[in-house]
Amino acid sequence: MSSAIKEVPVQLPKSFDRPDEPWHHYLTIDVIWYVLGYTLFHPFVSWVLVLCLRAQYTAYHAPEMRIAFAWAALMTAIGLFGLISDRIAFGSPREVDLSEEVIVITGGVEGLGGLLAETYGMRNANIAVLDTKKVDEDEAEEKGAVYYQCDVSDAKQVEAAAAKIIEDLGAPTILVNNAGLVHTKSILESTAEDVEQTFRVNTLSHFHTLRTFLPHMIAEGRGTVVTVSSVLGHLGAANLSAYTASKAALLALHHSLRAELAQIPEAKEIKTILVTPGQMTTRMFAGVKTPSNFLAPVVTPADVGKDIIRLIEKGESGEVALPLYSRYIHILGVLPVGIQYLVRRWSGIDSAIGKAGLTKKETSRKK
C-alpha cells in the first residue's frame, strides 16, 4: 500500500548566498566591548581574580593583590551606581506575563517590526500588526499574528483598527511604534508631499497610536511603549533631511512622554523604551557603507530586536542603542565644532547616500 509523500519546498535564507567574509570582518569594537563586559569589567569576575590570588597565598600587601582588590572594588561601585541610577530614573520593573499581554506593532510586516512580530508569534503571544501591506490569512496563521491593514499616519484608521484589536484580542498593553519610511532626497529636491508623508508616517503616527492606545494602558494600570527612532536623529545627514528631522522629533517625543506619564499616578507601571539603532541590514538603507566595519558595524534586526524583547519581558524602561557608537554619540555634540566637522568628514555620513546611488529616487523605501 503506497502513500503519497508531500513535497515541502525549502528556500535557504538569502544570507546563505553571501560570500564568506574573513574572520577579522566579524571582529568589531562591539564584540570586544561585549567580551570585556563579561570578563575584565564584570564585578563577579574581578572578585574571582582576587580569590585566585588569595588561593595562591598572595599577601594582602602585595602590589598585585592591592591592584586586583582596587579594581574589583571599582567595578563593583560602577555596577551598583548603574543599578541605582536606573532605579531612580525608571523605577522598579513591572511583572510581564505574555499570556496576559496584547502587543501592537506598527510596520510589523517586514524589517525589525516583522522580526518582533514573528518572534512573539512563535511564542503564542497576542500579536496585532498594523501595516499598509496586506497579509493573507494563511501567512498570518503561520506567523501566529493578527494583521490589520492600516495606514498609521491616518488617525481615523488607527482608531478603527484599535476597536477591532480590542474586540479580537483585548486591551493593548504593549505598543511598538516601528513604522517608518525614507525619501533619499536633498532639501531642494524634496517636494512638499515627500516631507509631509515622511513626517506623517515617522512622527505623527506615534501621536495617533499613543492617543489611541495609551488610555487603555492607563486603565489597565500597566504597559510598555517602545519608540523606534534612529541614531541619525542625533546627527542629521545630507540627502536625508526629512527622515532625520522626523526621527529627531521622536527623541523629544519620548522624553515628553516620560515626563507626562510621571504626572499620572495610574501610569506608574507603564514603561518606556527608546530605540536608536545605527545602520541596520534592512531594505531601507541597502547598499549604504559605513566608514569602518570595526568602529561602526552594520547591525541586524535580530541584534536590535533581542535587546528590545529583553527589556519588554523584564518589565523595564530603558534605551536600546546599537552598535556601540550610537550609545555615546551625544559626546560628539560637546566637542569643538572643528573636531565635529572632521569626524563627520571622516565618517562619510553626508556622502554615504550619494555613494550608494540612492539619491534622487522617486520611490520610497519602506521598512
Domain boundaries, the chain: 23-79, 98-366
Give the pLDDT band of residue 205 (cuts 50, 70, 90).
very high
Dist CA 32 CA 20 (whole Å): 21
Average pLDDT, the chain: 90
Distance from C-alpha of 273 to C-alpha of 249, rounded to nearest angstrom: 15
Q: Distance of CA 51 to CAs 40, 61, 243, Å?
A: 15, 15, 53
Beta-carbon-side half-sphere exposure of residue 86 (alpha carbons within 13 Å): 16
SS3 for 2? coil
Residues 6 or more apart whose CB falls under 8 angstroms from that of 133 comprise 109, 110, 149
CATH 3.40.50.720 assigned to 98-366? yes
Question: Would you say 304 and 320 are in contact if contact means Cβ atoms under 8 Å apart?
Answer: yes
Show the cell assigned to 301: 534586526
DSSP 202: I
94 has pLDDT over 60:
yes
| Contact call for residues 274 and 248 (beta carbons, < 8 A) | no
User: How far, in Å, CA of 116 to CA of 304, rounded?
Assistant: 10
SS3 labels along 259-318: HHHCCCHHHCCEEEEEECCCCECCHHHCCCCCCCCCCCCCECHHHHHHHHHHHHHHCCCE
**How much is the CA Rg of the chain, to the nearest whole Å?**
23
d(CA 224, CA 241): 30
pLDDT tens for residues 206-231? 999 999 999 999 999 999 999 999 99
CA nearest neighbour of 352 among 302, 301, 278, 300: 278
Q: How many residues does the chain have?
A: 367
Which residues lie across from 320 on neighbouring strands? 275
Look up the pTM and report it. 0.89
The helix or strand, by DSSP H or E, that contains position 223, with its residue range, turns out to be: strand 223-228
Assess whether pLDDT exceeds 70 at residue 363.
no
Specify the range with the lowest mean pLDDT, choosing from 131-145, 237-251, 265-279: 131-145
Look at residue 301 and tell me whether its pLDDT is greater than 80: yes
Quick one: which of 216, 224, 246, 217 has its CA closest to 310? 224
